[in-house]
Amino acid sequence: MGRLAGKSVIITGAGSGIGRAASLLFTQEGAKLIAVDRSESVNETVELVRKAGGIAEAMMADAGSETDVMAVIDRAVSTFGRLDAIWANAGISGGLVPLAEQTVEHWQEILRINLIGPFLAIKHAMPHMIRQKYGAIVCTASVAGLKSGASGHPYAASKAGVISLVQTTAYSLSGTGVRINAVCPGLIETGMTKPIFDNARERGTDGKIGQLNPLKRAGQPHELAAMGLFLASDDASYVNGQAIPVDGGLTASMPYAGKPI
């Protein structure tokens, strides 16, 4: 039996990248999944899951909309009878706009998806999990939320907020049987980071990608999915309130600030 056998799980941002890799891995490990994305690509993810023999349903929704998040959680509970784990993974990058040119609207949209989105997932998943006295919440943060130099200002601030949200929520959930943790991806090859990889390949500097971490390479979505699986499963039953980097060792010294690839 898989590590999530029979568990009811929600993954947001499931249309591509880390979310798609997690959807495939979680269902391979026995999860019954509601895969969520605001893009129709979530239907492709569910098709891949079903072809592999997994159980999943697709739902298009905006992770930063409270109405949508409530509908997603209601769908999981009504379909599978309970909610055992949720991975609030949906996020946007916002690009690298110079600080003086950033607008309030730019910040608000990034914070809406990247920080308010996880808050909403926690807020509306929590009551179901507390009633069960069991549940695991995973949020996608970033190494950019740990130290500077990894991304633009609003993205980094939003991910630092996710880390703080996870830590403070762990104490709010004291004694409930519900755990919460964050994963902090380093440079992972996904749709969000595609411009970095494409630009480096065009310049012929793709050999430098990931060379600033001790493993000397970029990461892949399945490597983040594996950490999310651990945190969502009972293997991590004593792991709580943590923000865990999956970055090839980059945050061991964070040597990359001011060194573009």
Residue 136 located in a structural domain: yes
Backbone angles phi, psi at 88, to 5 degrees: -80, 90
pLDDT confidence bin for 260, thresholds 50/70/90 = very low
Q: For the chain, what percent of residues have pLDDT higher than 70?
A: 89
Find, among 179, 257, 185, 258, the residue nearest to 221 by Cα: 185
pLDDT (mean) for 162-191: 94
Check residues 238 and 191 and name the one with the higher pLDDT: 238
Beta-strand pair 135-140/32-37: unpaired
Residue 173 located in a structural domain: yes
pLDDT confidence bin for 99, thresholds 50/70/90 = confident
Provide the edge-to-edge strand list for the sheet that holds 243-246: 55-60, 32-37, 8-12, 85-88, 135-140, 178-185, 243-246
**pLDDT at residue number 151:** 72
pLDDT confidence bin for 35, thresholds 50/70/90 = very high
User: Does pLDDT of 259 surpass 50?
Assistant: no
User: Does pLDDT of 22 surpass 50?
Assistant: yes
Residue 205 located in a structural domain: no
**pLDDT at residue number 255:** 56
pLDDT (mean) for 247-254: 83
Side-chain half-sphere of 21: how many Cα atoms within 13 Å? Answer: 18
User: For position 148, which CATH number holds?
Assistant: 3.40.50.720
**pLDDT at residue number 203:** 73
Residue 198 located in a structural domain: no
pLDDT (mean) for 157-181: 98
Q: Give the range of the structural domain holding residue 79, as residue numbers without chain letter.
A: 8-188+222-243
Backbone angles phi, psi at 110, to 5 degrees: -65, -45
Residue 251 located in a structural domain: no
Residue 153 located in a structural domain: yes
Residue 204, by phi and psi: left (phi above 0), alpha (psi -120 to 50) or beta? Answer: left
Judge contact between 245 and 180, C-beta under 8 A: no
Residue 3 located in a structural domain: no
Residue 211 located in a structural domain: no
pLDDT (mean) for 83-96: 92
Q: Is 155 a catalytic residue?
A: yes
Q: Which residues of 152-168 are buried (b: 16+ CB within 10 A; e: fewer)?
A: bbbbbbbbbbbbebbbe
Question: What's the residue count for the chain?
Answer: 261
155, 171, 238, 256: the active-site residue: 155
Query: For the chain, how many structural domains are there in total?
Result: 1
Mean per-residue pLDDT of the chain: 91
Across-strand partners of 185? Answer: 246
pLDDT confidence bin for 149, thresholds 50/70/90 = low
Find, among 114, 115, 76, 92, the residue nearest to 16 by Cα: 92
pLDDT (mean) for 109-127: 98
pLDDT confidence bin for 60, thresholds 50/70/90 = very high
Find, among 111, 21, 125, 115, the residue nearest to 69 by Cα: 125
